[in-house]
Amino acid sequence: MSVSISQLAFEHHREALGIAESKPRISWRFEGNAADWEQSSYDIKVRRGRDDGPVSFAYNSSQSLFVPWPGEPLGSTERARVRARAHGNKGKSSTSWSDWVAVETGLLDEDDWAGAVPIASTKSFDRNQPKRPVYFRKPFLVNSKKNGHSAIETARLYITALGLYEAEINGNPVGDRVLAPGWQSYDLRHVYDTYDVTDLVEKGNNAIGIVVGEGWYAGSVFQQPYEEVRRNHYGGTIGPLCVLIVTLKDGTKIEVPTDSSWKAADGPITDSQIYDGEIYDSRLEKPIKGWSTASFKDDKWSAVKELSRPSGTLVPPDGPPVRRIQELEFKEIIKSPSGKTILDFGQNMAGWLKVTVKGPAGTNITLSHAEVLENGELALEPLRRAKARDIIILHDQGEQTWEPKFTSHGFRFAQVDGWPEDTPLTTEAIKGIVVHTDLQRTGWFQCSDELLNKLHSNVIWSMKGNFASIPTDCPQRDERVGWTGDAHVFGPTSNYLFDTSGFWKSWHKDVWLDMQRNNMIVPHWVPVTPPDAKDVITLTPIAVWGDVAVGSPWNLWRAFGDDALLKEQFEQSQAWIETGIPRGEGGLWKEGGFQYADWLAPTSTPTYLVADAYLVGMVDRLANMPDALGYEDLREKYRTQHSELRDTFRGRWINEGRMANTTQTAYALGLYFGLFEDGDLQESAETLKQLVAENDYLIGTGFAGTSIIGYAMNGAGLTDDFYKMLLQTKNPSWLYSVKQNVTTTWERWDSMLPDGSVNPNMMTSFNHYSFGSVADWMHGVIGGLAPGEPGWKRIEISPVPGGGITEAEATFVSGYGEIKTKWSIKDDGFHLDVQVPPNSKAVVTLPGSGKTIDVGSGTHKFHDSDV
C-alpha cells in the first residue's frame, strides 16, 4: 500500500522551459495503490536563483491539480526548481518528496529581445514563386569583459522565424524540434521556442547558423475558393528572429540578436514546400561545409536586411513541439505493373523518409508518397495538387544520410525512382520517420475482438497523422488545415488517448483571435487562411464546425479539470452563441445559408435540423459552465435560454413526438441532446432501434451524428443494437475499412470502394480522424471509463459488455494517476478489476444492475454476485 508522486508539472507544459506564465500553477500525479487515500495537505519547496536554499510552503488543501504558484512571481528568464510532498488524511501515509523539477520563464519583457529583429537575405527573389530556403550565420565571441576566465553558466536560444527554422551552433543541431515554430495565426500570435544550448556554446569563438524555409508562413497554403492558390498568407519574405543569451558565472551576459551583422547564403536545399516536398542538391554542400562553425569563411555570403518586428505578439508555446517520434522499417518492396519500385511501410503515417545512400554525383533520387495503391501503382489522385515528392541529388563523396526539413507527407507507400546501384535498397537505407506533436500518451484500450482492436489502432494512427502543431483534417493532400468540425467531434477521443491540454489550449487561442476579427464567427478552419479573408464562404457561420468554440472547451474541462482554462475559453463559447450564430425565429439558426451539417452521411438529414439540435446542445453546455466558474447570473440566463430554445426546437422539428426527419442522425441528436419530451423518449428509442435494424446495422451518420450516436443509443437502452453497428463489416461501417487491412481511419466510409478502387471524388483521404470519434464510446462504454467530475476527480466506471466481447481493458492516466478497468465474462459470470488513483474516487456500476458502488483509491474486484 504505497503512494508517491510520479510526475510534477507546471500549467500544461510537458517541459517548462521558456514558458509565458510567471506564476505557473503546479500539479502532481500520484502512483501507488494506497486504499482510500486522499490528500489533506501538501508542502512545496522552491529553489530560486543560484545559491538560495529552498523556501518551504505548507498548505492545508486536498487540491493536487493546478495549485497556485507559491511566493513571488518569477521574473523574465528566471529559473526555479520545485518539489512537492503530499500528506494523506485520517492518519494515512505521506508521499516522500517528489524529484526537483525545473521551471523557467521565457522572455517576458520586450527589452529582453536585445533589439533582435527578423532578418532576410538581400538577394532578390520572386515572391510569387516557391521560396528557396535561406541559410543565415553569425560568428560570435564568448568572453568576459570583467574576468577573462569566467566559465559559461547558461546559454539560451530564443528563436522563431518568418517561416520554419532549424538552428545549429558550432556545427551541432539545436534541439530536436521539427517544423518549428509550428503554425499559429502568425499575424496575431507568433510562437518562439526556447532551447538550453549551454552544452553547445564554448568560451572563445563560436558561430550560430539558422536555415529557414517558407513553411505555412510564406508558402502555398489551402484557401477557398479552391481554384486560387495563394502563397504568402502572412508575409512574402522569410528569415529568422532570435536572440542567443550566454550568461557567464561572473554575471556577464553576451547577447547575439538577429540584426544586420548576420550574413546569408543559398545552400543545398533548393526548394522546400509543405505540400510539394523538398529538393536537395548535395553537390551544393561543399561551399557551405562547416557553415555554422566559427572557422567558416563567409566572405562570399551576402548581407542581410532587417525587417520590422512580426505583427503577431511573440509568445512561448503552450503545448509540446513537433518531433520525429518513431522510425519505421518498410515491410516489402513491390515491383509495380509499370516496373516502378514501391516500398510498403505497412502503416499509413505522416512524416517523411530518411535515406542513407551512396552513388555517382548527380544521381537524382525521387521519392514519391501515397497512402494507397490503385492497380498496383501509387494512387496520386487523392493528393490533388500536392506533389508530395522529395528529391535528393547525390554528391560522390561517399555515403550520405539525408531527410527533408520543411515538408511532410501522408503516406504508407513510397515510390523510389533513380536509386543508385552502389547501395542495396534495404531497410537500413530507407526509413520512415513518423512526425507529430510530441504529446504524452495517456489512454489505452483493448478487448477480445481483434477487429475492434485494429480499429482502435487505426484511430490512434489517424490522430498521430493529424496532430502536428494544429489539428489538421488530413496530412496528405493540398489542404491539411485546422478544420474546426473535425476537431470538435474528435476532441473527446483525443483527450483520452494523449495529454492534449496544451495542444488544444494553443489552438483555441487562435480560434478566439480568428473569431474576434470576424465578428465572432468561427472560421471553417483555424488558423484561417488567408488571415485577412473577407466575404468568403470560409467565414460564414456554420453549426458543428463553429460549435467547437463551445463543445471543445467543455470537453477539455471535463478531461483536464482546469477552471482557469475554462474561464479563458468561456469568452469564445459565449461570443459564438451570443453573436456568431445568426438567429432566426425563436432563437434557432436563421435559415437559408450554407451548412455542412451531417457532412458525408450516407443518408442526409436537413441541415438546419442538425444545426438547431447542436445549438440547443451547445447552449446546454454553455449553461453548465457558469457553475464551474461561479458566474451565478449567467447560469440562470443560459439555463432559461436553453429551455426556451429546446421548446422552440420541438415546435420546429418535432411533431407529435416524431422528428421531422426519420434518420439515424436526427434521432441520435434528439436523444443525445435531450430534445424529446420525457413522454416521447421510449417511442423515439424504438424508432431509432427500428431505423438501425432496417438499415441492416449499417451506419447512416456523417460528421454530426457519428461521434454521438453510440452514446445516444447507450442512453436509450439500445447498447446491443449499437454493438451490432459497431461490429458490422459491410459498407458503410467502421469495420468495413478495417476489413480492407488499412491502418488509419478514412475521410469517407468508402474512401476505398468495395472493388478496391479509390473513391473518385476529389475529397478522398485515407487519414481523417472524424469517424474515429467512435473510440470515445469504446473507452467509455466497452472499457467503462468516463470522467464523473472534471479532471476525473470522480471516475464513472460502468462497462456495458455486448457484441460477444468476452473481455476488455482500458487504462487512462488522469491528472491524479493511473485508472484501470479490466473485465471478463467467465462461466461464473462477470468479473471486473478496477484501479483508482490516489486523491480520486470512483462510482462503479456493474452491468445490468443499475446499482452504484462508491469506492476510493486502490484496487477493487467485483463480481456480479456483488449486487
Least Cβ distance, residue 159 to ligand BGC (angstroms): 32
116 vs 489, which CB is nearer to ligand BGC? 489
Least Cβ distance, residue 191 to ligand BGC (angstroms): 25
350 vs 659, which CB is nearer to ligand BGC? 350
Catalytic residue among 479, 585, 686, 796: 479
Give yes or no for a contact between 432 and 345, defined as CB atoms under 8 angstroms apart: yes
Least Cβ distance, residue 555 to ligand BGC (angstroms): 18
The secondary structure of 650-668 as a DSSP string is HHHHEETTEESS-SHHHHH
Interacting residues toward ligand BGC by CB under 6 A: 473-474, 479, 483, 485-486, 596, 599, 763, 768
Catalytic residue among 38, 278, 403, 747: 747
27 vs 764, which CB is nearer to ligand BGC? 764
Least Cβ distance, residue 827 to ligand BGC (angstroms): 47
For residue 282, count CB atoms less than 10 angstroms from its CB and return exposed for 0-12, middle for 13-18, buried for 19 or more: buried
276 vs 479, which CB is nearer to ligand BGC? 479
Spell out a b/e string for 207-235, using b for 16 or more CB atoms within 10 Å of the CB, else e: bbbbbbbbbbbbbbbbbeeeeeeebbbbb
479 is catalytic: yes
Q: Rounded to the nearest 5°, which phi and psi values hold at 291? A: -60, -25
Least Cβ distance, residue 350 to ligand BGC (angstroms): 14
Least Cβ distance, residue 600 to ligand BGC (angstroms): 8
Give yes or no for a contact between 658 and 682, defined as CB atoms under 8 angstroms apart: no
Q: Which three cell numbers stand for residue 489?
A: 467531434
- Indicate the pairing of strand 322-329 with strand 430-437: antiparallel
Q: Residue 644 half-sphere exposure, CB side, CA atoms within 13 Å?
A: 11
Least Cβ distance, residue 506 to ligand BGC (angstroms): 20
Spell out a b/e string for 612-626, using b for 16 or more CB atoms within 10 Å of the CB, else e: bbbbbbbbbbbbbbb
Neighbours of 173 (CB within 10 A): 12
The secondary structure of 783-830 as a DSSP string is S-EEESSGGGSEEEE-----TT--EEEEEEE-SS-EEEEEEEEETTEE
504 vs 525, which CB is nearer to ligand BGC? 525
Give yes or no for a contact between 531 and 594, defined as CB atoms under 8 angstroms apart: no
Least Cβ distance, residue 539 to ligand BGC (angstroms): 14
d(CA 39, CA 7): 16
195 vs 483, which CB is nearer to ligand BGC? 483
d(CA 691, CA 712): 14
Percent of residues in the chain assigned helix, strand, coil, to nearest 5: 25, 30, 45
Cis peptide before 541 (omega within 30 of 0): no
Give the sign of the dihedral formed by CA 280, CA 281, CA 287, CA 290: positive
42 vs 746, which CB is nearer to ligand BGC? 746
747 is catalytic: yes
Q: Which three cell numbers stand for residue 673?
A: 441532446
The secondary structure of 247-281 as a DSSP string is EETTS-EEEEE-STT-EEEE-SEEEEETTTEEEEE
Cis peptide before 732 (omega within 30 of 0): yes
533 vs 688, which CB is nearer to ligand BGC? 533
Q: Which three cell numbers stand for residue 263?
A: 550574413
Give yes or no for a contact between 858 and 36, defined as CB atoms under 8 angstroms apart: yes
192 vs 703, which CB is nearer to ligand BGC? 703
d(CA 262, CA 419): 38
Spell out where 614-718 has E strands.
654-655, 658-659
Least Cβ distance, residue 857 to ligand BGC (angstroms): 41
Least Cβ distance, residue 158 to ligand BGC (angstroms): 35
The secondary structure of 740-751 as a DSSP string is TT-SS--SSTTS
113 vs 490, which CB is nearer to ligand BGC? 490
Which residues neighbour 288 within 8 Å (Cβ) at sequence distance 6 or greater?
A: 135, 265, 267, 268
Distances (CA, A) of 40 to 8, 572, 839: 18, 36, 9
Beta-bridged to residue 304, according to DSSP, are 121
Beta-bridged to residue 266, according to DSSP, are 134
Least Cβ distance, residue 768 to ligand BGC (angstroms): 6
11 vs 547, which CB is nearer to ligand BGC? 547
List active site positions.
Answer: 479, 747
